Structures are given as C-alpha cells and as structure tokens.
Structure 1
Amino acid sequence: MRTATGVTILPSAGVFDPNILRGLASRTAIITGGAGGIGAATAKIFNQLGANVVLADIPIFEDKANEIIASLPYPSQALFVPVDILNWDQMKTLFKRTVQTFGMVHIVVANAGTMESSEVLNLEDVDSDGDLRESNEAFKVIDVNLKGTLNTLRLAMPCYMGGTGVSAYFSSKHGVIGLLRGSQQAAQRYGISVKGIAPFFTPTRMTAGFAERWHEAGLEGNTPEMVGNVIAQSAIDDTKSGSCILIAGRFLRELEFTRTDIMSQWLGQDMVDFMRKAFQFMTSMGWYQLPQISN
C-alpha cells in the first residue's frame, strides 16, 4: 500500500492506518540518533508527511545529518542539534532549541542507542595478572541505552512535578531481566546456571514508608526470609537456567518459561515460527556479528 505522499505502509493486522499518519502534518518531532539508520528513516517519513523534524545526534555526525536534511522533501522544516544524550545540559538545550525554532514539541522518538563491539561475558578477557578486565564498554552501552533514554523521557514529559513513581527502579529491574535473557548463551558455554528472583512487596528499608499500610489493606506480602529461602533453593538447583521466579507471599510463579509457553497465543504462531528461524540463523552465525565501534 502506498499513500499519496509516497510513504510505503505495510499492512499488518490493521496496525497501520494512512489516515492517522496524515495527522503528522505541522507536528514537531525530536528524533535522537537521527543522523543514521532507523532515526534517519523515521525523520524522512515524518518530514514527507509534513512534520518538523529535529535530528539529534552526537557532533561527529553533523555532516551526515546535514546531508539527510538536504535530501528531505521539506528541508526548511528540519534542524540538526548536536547532543550527547547522557549530557543533561545538552539535552535541555535540545528541547529549548526545538521550541525556539518550531514553537512546540509534539513527538519525541528516543531512538539513540549503541552496542558493544566485543562479548561482555567473555571469561577469557583477562589482564596480564589473569584477572577479569572491567567491562567499561558494557557500562557505556547501558548508560546510553538506558540512562540516555531516561534523560530523553524526562525532558519529553509535559510536566516535571511529582507523580511519576519509581520509574528508575522499574527501568533498572527490566534491564536485569534483559541481562538474564542475554547472558544465557555465555552461561551455557561456561556451564553456569543464571537465574532470576523477582520478589514482589517485601518489607525492607526501601519499602518502610508504606509497609504498615500495605498490611492494613489486607494485602499479602513477603518476608525477607521467604525470599532468602527461594534464593537458596535456586542457588543449589543447577537446572532451569534462565528461569525467573516471582515471589508474592504464598504465591510462587515462574515467569520466563511460562512466557515462552504462551508465546504463540501472544504473538501468533506465524510470528513464533519466524522468530525461531531467525534465532536458528543467528545461532549458526555465532549470534550477533558485533560492530567495530570507534571510540
């Protein structure tokens, strides 16, 4: 399907609606990582549909960003702002310049990201004394992909006053689940079992502020000892690497394997079959061919 603007829309279970896309006209979008790849393609689509686009990327990509802007259908409706998404002052400048130029921010695409260029869980990566080297590159990946996205989200929110809850805590814990999943291949190679424990409400120093009210509401909670017992059992059980146990009072539920079991109901069998083939291909290739990233 092609719209009048020339943008190709792939029909997929009614997800895409060209009529909705027309609403992008006169909107303003900030796109981090906008000087290449998905960011550049997104900027082009938005601009084709009449949106103002701000390509935000690190300074070394300025020439590339300007080339992209020059190639857009409406280059006067595009702007490049050099920014490191980990630099709070630069990020504030990004949003301020966008407002100064186009009047308002309607859409923010937190696209910027990076990947390691060598395997993080390589146990042969040791120094001259035989000690494991610190994974500085992995720290950079986590900083850019998670902390940088958090910076983008905070500045994209229309209001800064309270009410956002413990979003940093939740984000970090979701990151731990990603680490659990991403570590399984290396763990298998080294004969190590890596599992996760996900305690629900457990009265500790962190939750002291509302522990009493939780119990007054009749809600079941954990004790630190209950969680410790599950940890102990998991620690001596060498099977089921990759599992994650949710502990909620008397309720114990396995999260990761059950997620796999219902994948076809969730995504559809056709998608599951495609993903299985894709993972088999990546496995045959030795998984991701890590990029050579210049510092």
Structure 2
Amino acid sequence: MRLRNKIAVVTGGASGIGEATVVDMINEGARVVIADMDEQLGEALALKLNERQEGCAIFQPVDVSDETQVETLFETTVSRLGTVDAVFNNAGIGGMAAAESYPLEDWQRIIDINLTGVFLVAKHALGHMKRQGSGSLINCASILGNVGQSMTAAYSAAKGGVVNLTRTLALEMAPHGVRVNTVSPAYIDTPLLRDLDEATLKALIALHPIGRLGRSEEVAKAVSFLASDDASFITGANLLVDGGFTAGKS
C-alpha cells in the first residue's frame, strides 16, 4: 500500500474526482479527511466508507474561499490525527461566458474558489508540512490551465494560475522536505457529461487522441502516486491526465 499510515486531506472530496481520490487513498492505506461544502454528501460518504473500514474517513465542512475555515480544517486535522502527510487541493467550480459579457461577480467567484481557494489551502497545509519536515501537496489544475478555450476566461485564468503557483510553491518548499505538484485532467466521464446529446458527446470525445473520456479513478491514481514516496524525486511537475488532449492535433 503506497499510503499506509498516511493522513490525507482531500478538498472537494465528496463527489467526482475528489470522491474517487478519497476512495483510492483509503485503498492505499491512508486515513482521509473529506473536506467539502456539501455537508450532506460529505457526511454520507464518510459514513459509507467507515462502515466498510472503521476510522478510515472523517468529514470536515469547508469553504476554501474562507481563510478561517481553511485554517480550522488543518488545525482540526492535526489536532485529531497528529499530522497531515498529503493534501489533494481539488475544490473548484466551472463557468462559461464570452469575455466581453462575463459578469464580474461570476468571474470573481471562480477566481475566489479555483485560485485563491487553492492558495489558501496550500498556505495552511504547507505551514504544517514545513514544521514537520515532510509532506506532499497536489493541486488540481486542468487542461485549460495549459491551453486556451473560448468561453472559459475565468476558469482558464484560474487554472493557469494554479499551474504556475505550483511551481513557485515547489521551489519554496523543496528545502523543507515538502513536495508540490499539479495534476491537469482533461474531460472526465461524469453524470453531467452523460447528459449531453450524442453529437456533442462524440465531438468532446474526439478531442482526446486516446479515443475516450477520462475516468475519475484514473485521475485519482495519479494523485495517489504523487502523494506517495514513489514520487519522492518529483516536485514542481504538472502531470497531464488528458488522453493526449494537449499533445496537439494528429
């Protein structure tokens, strides 16, 4: 087990890629704090996982754009579990609009959660990791932090910021035994995408040279690897989990 006896925190952990990562980290031997705004989903997931393996999961409500809540998340984790070894900084929201008509409040909300929220989680997680002299932080960016796409000004700007923030944090933390990396997923097969009409779904799939959408579990495996000692010489990296999306046109 790659994460045996490790303590991990997953933001946005109650659903989607976050939920898949919580499950994979537990399967790899970790105890996981599920941090999410959705208390109903988070509590239900923790209950389900603890019925299978007692004590493997704890739910902690958090709005990552609220620094007080983020600080409490990590103080509570360390107080209850003794340490924080790995963090998947995953909470985020989407939004689409043409730049010239993008409402400022919508832009600000995406930046607040997808970029400032990532910074706040990193700030408070890395403080604990630096003091203990070890740890792995994995930030969730996106293919749209690496290439542009129309109608995604706020989201792409935030995710691009996450990619370069990661490099900066990696440089700051390397002397202290702490690693910081990014995963950048492409389009992942979720119930939301399955609601698309057949033509739109086929067009989306065609953007991926590998010939299909990604699965949440595939992103989770990449995160667990970066969290583990198997990735001990990897920091400042941006791992594209994208089925070839960003490689170019064939």
The TM-score, its normalising length taken from structure 2, stands at 0.51
2:115 to 128, 146, 163: 146
Tell me the equivalent position of 1:119.
Answer: 97
Residues 182/34 of structure 1: CA separation in 2 closer, same or farther (3 Å cut): same
- Tell me if 1:84 matches 2:63: yes
Instruction: Tell me, yes or no, if the aligned pair for 2:33 and 2:59 is still in contact at 8 Å.
Output: yes
Q: Aligned ranges for residues 153-172 of structure 1 at < 5 Å?
A: 153-157=122-126, 158-159=129-130
Contact persistence 1:28–1:104 (CA under 8 A): yes
Q: Flag structure 1 segments of 5+ consecutive residues without an equivalent.
A: 1-21, 126-132, 161-173, 187-266, 278-295
Inter-CA distance 56–180: structure 2 relative to 1 (3 Å threshold): same
Name the CA distance, whole Å, in 2 between partners of 1:33 and 1:106.
18
Secondary structure of the structure 1 residue equivalent to 2:87: strand
> 12, 24, 29: which one pairs with 1:45?
24
**Whole-angstrom CA distance in 2 between matches of 1:96 and 1:185:** 35
Q: 1:155 to 1:36 in 2, by over 3 A?
A: same
Does the 8 A contact of 2:98 with 2:152 survive in 1?
no
3-state SS of paired residue (2:148): helix
Question: Would you say the 8 A contact 1:120–1:138 is kept in 2?
Answer: no
The alignment partner of 2:8 has SS state of strand
Partners of 2:246 and 2:2 in 1: CA distance: 35
User: Offset of 1:272 from its aligned partner?
Assistant: 6.2
Quote the sequence identity (%): 31
Amino acid of the residue matched to residue 244 of structure 2?
Answer: M
Alpha-carbon deviations, 1:173-216, whole Å to 9, x = none?
x9xx9598345999xxxxxxxxxxxxxxxxxxxxxxxxxxxxxx
What is the TM-score of this pair, normalised by structure 1?
0.44
Distance across 1 between alignment mates of 2:121 and 2:152: 32
Look up the match of 1:271.
244
Aligned to 1:289: none
The residue type equivalent to 1:69 in the other structure is: A
Q: Distance in 2 between matches of 1:185 and 1:114?
A: 12
Mind listing any 5+ residue stretches in structure 2 that lack a counterpart?
A: 132-140, 154-239
Instruction: State whether residues 48 and 74 of structure 1, in contact with CA within 8 Å, keep that contact through their aligned partners in structure 2.
Output: no
Counterpart secondary structure, 2:106: helix
Equivalent position of 2:104 in the other structure: 135
Q: Over the residues paired in the alignment, what is the CA RMSD in angstroms?
A: 3.3
> Structure 2: how far apart are the matches of 1:49 and 1:95?
22
The amino acid across from 1:99 in the alignment is V
Q: Distance in 2 between matches of 1:109 and 1:31?
A: 5
Establish whether residue 32 from structure 1 lines up as the match of residue 11 from structure 2: yes
Q: How does 1:1-295 map to 2 (within 5 A)?
A: 22-58=1-37, 61-72=38-49, 73-116=52-95, 118-121=96-99, 123=100, 125=101, 134-157=103-126, 158-159=129-130, 178=145, 181-183=148-150, 271=244, 276=249
**How far does residue 138 in structure 1 lie from its aligned partner after superposition?**
1.6
Measured in 2, the distance between the counterparts of 1:180 and 1:24 equals 32
Q: Give the Cα separation in 1 of the matches to 2:24 and 2:77.
A: 19
Corresponding residue for residue 242 of structure 1:
none
Aligned to 2:97, the other structure's residue is in SS state coil
Q: Is the 8 A contact 1:50 1:74 kept in 2?
A: no
Q: Could you say which structure has the larger radius of gyration?
A: 1
- Partner in structure 2 of residue 235 of structure 1: none
**What amino acid sits opposite 2:97 in the alignment?**
E
User: Structure 2: which amino acid aligns with 1:119?
Assistant: A
- Structure 1 residue 275, shift from structure 2 partner: 6.1
One-letter amino acid of the structure 2 residue matched with residue 66 of structure 1: E
Alignment deviations for residues 23-71 of structure 1 (CA, whole Å, 9 cap, x no partner): 301100000001110101100111122211001111xx11111221122
